[in-house]
DNA sequence: TATAATTCGGACAAAAAACTCTTTAGGAGT
DNA sequence: ACTCCTAAAGAGTTTTTTGTCCGAATTATA
């Protein structure tokens, strides 16, 4: 019931970045502090998301990470396809290499409709919306009291 | 989308054991061959399931593993609670230690109903039923052609 | 131009998960 | 009693995931 830690950090960080004023780069260090996750590891994850086109990065003073233009509405599904790999939704729950309607594992026909629900849920949540809900104070992004929010 | 390999092996093995005549111990070696899974590793998993009360084991000639009496109807939920641990269903999808209706992560209220579907699915599937469906040839347990079945 | 602040890249380390090997112990058949 | 077949147990190995460290490249500003 479970995403890899890498995916969890990625989603948390992306939502956090989306809560911040667009165009102003956010420091890796600040994200890491705010989310209470290892900074050096988070940096790797963010760098990878840059290469994959979700984020822009800027070096030097006033540097940091921003959502790339037009990526505000990226769905969690798209994010997880990047962090978990393109087979994220494709694999058999019991690990069979071949498992389809035609030749199925014993869980297949119960699992497929549930998996569809999961996919639908992930597709209907996007960074902008989630960030908005976090900004209103409705939700917590980390195991810490909601941080003071920018005016 | 996603069980640990350990859980996958456990479920596959338990269903396989349930397909075999009750009371006749099944050899670890045979299960491993049938499922195409590392035998020594599978043995550890089965030993653990013994300690946890799901299986009985017998040493020496005519030894092997059987479902413990009365465990035929064990649900996949019960199995996964053993293999994935008791927090299997309890943890936050974003990894927050505290995440509840009262103080939620941004995915919480979308995730909870989906999680309920998953849990319901896992609770309504039990070893006996699954084994029966496999015995009829309806489903495959491994990436191999369905094995010849005992008369 | 110098400096401080940042990301980038690669190597490294630690921890967890997956898997193996070897030895011991127990039970069945002869 | 002896032998063979099995699981049990524990240590060890390999692979993957998670996490650290450090030096180099880049940029704003004084």
d(C-alpha B5, C-alpha B43), whole Å: 14
Answer yes or no: do B141 and A105 touch at CB < 8 A. Answer: yes
Of A3, A91, A93, the CB nearest to B93: A3
| Pair B56, B46: CB distance under 8 Å | no
Give the nucleotide at minimum CA-to-C1' distance from A56. C7
Question: Which chain C positions come under 7 Å from a protein C-beta?
Answer: 4-10, 17-22, 25-29
**Distance of residue A144 Cα from the nearest chain B Cα, in angstroms:** 9
pLDDT score for A146: 67
Answer yes or no: do A98 and B143 touch at CB < 8 A. Answer: yes
pLDDT score for B146: 67
> Helix B39-51 to helix B28-35 angle, to the nearest 10 degrees?
120
d(C-alpha B34, C-alpha B26), whole Å: 11
Of A15, A88, A104, the CB nearest to B1: A88
pLDDT band at A2 (very low <50, low <70, confident <90, very high): confident
Question: If you average pLDDT over residues B7-27, what whole number do you get?
Answer: 97
| Pair B94, B107: CB distance under 8 Å | yes
Nearest CA in chain B to A85: B1
Is residue A12 within 8 angstroms of chain B, CB to CB?
Answer: yes
Would you give the end-to-end CA distance of chain A in angstroms? 36
In b/e form, how buried is each residue of A107-135, taking b as 16+ CB within 10 angstroms?
bbebbeebbeebbebbeebbbbbbbebbe
| Pair A66, A26: CB distance under 8 Å | yes
Q: Is the CB of B40 less than 7 A from some atom of nucleic acid strand C?
A: yes
Pick out residues 51-70 of chain B having their CB under 7 A from any atom of nucleic acid strand D.
51, 57-61, 63-65
Q: Is the CB of A50 less than 7 A from some atom of nucleic acid strand C?
A: yes
Model confidence over A117-127: pLDDT tens digits? 999 999 999 99
Q: Reply yes or no on whether the pLDDT at B150 is more than 80.
A: no
Is residue A146 within 8 angstroms of chain B, CB to CB?
Answer: no
Answer yes or no: do B139 and A105 touch at CB < 8 A. Answer: yes
Question: Which chain D positions come under 7 Å from a protein C-beta?
Answer: 4-10, 17-22, 25-29
pLDDT band at B151 (very low <50, low <70, confident <90, very high): very low
Q: Which residue is nearest to nucleotide D28 (CA to C1')?
A: A61
Q: Reply yes or no on whether the pLDDT at A151 is more than 80.
A: no
**Distance of residue B10 Cα from the nearest chain A Cα, in angstroms:** 10
| Pair A7, A80: CB distance under 8 Å | yes
Model confidence over A29-68: pLDDT tens digits? 999 999 999 999 999 999 999 999 999 999 999 999 999 9
Answer yes or no: do B1 and A95 touch at CB < 8 A. Answer: no
What percent of chain B lies above the pLDDT cut of 70?
Answer: 96
Model confidence over B93-144: pLDDT tens digits? 999 999 999 999 999 999 999 999 999 999 999 999 999 999 999 999 998 7
The domains of chain B, with CATH numbers, are 5-135 (1.10.10.10)
């Amino acid at each position: 019931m479970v995403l890899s830690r890498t995916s969890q950090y990625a989603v948390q960080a992306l939502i956090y970045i989306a809560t911040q004023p667009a165009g102003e780069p956010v420091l890796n260090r600040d994200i890491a502090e705010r989310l209470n996750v290892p900074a050096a590891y988070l940096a790797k994850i963010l760098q990878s998301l840059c290469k994959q086109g979700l984020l822009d990065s800027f070096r030097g003073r006033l540097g940091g990470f921003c959502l790339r233009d037009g990526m505000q509405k990226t769905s969690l599904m798209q994010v997880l396809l990047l962090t978990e790999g393109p087979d994220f939704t494709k694999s058999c729950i019991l690990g069979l290499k071949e498992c389809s309607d035609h030749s199925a594992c014993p869980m297949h026909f119960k699992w497929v409709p549930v998996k569809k629900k999961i996919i639908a849920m992930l597709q209907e949540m996007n960074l902008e919306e989630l960030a908005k809900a976090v900004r209103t104070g409705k939700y917590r992004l980390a195991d810490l009291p909601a941080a003071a929010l920018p005016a």
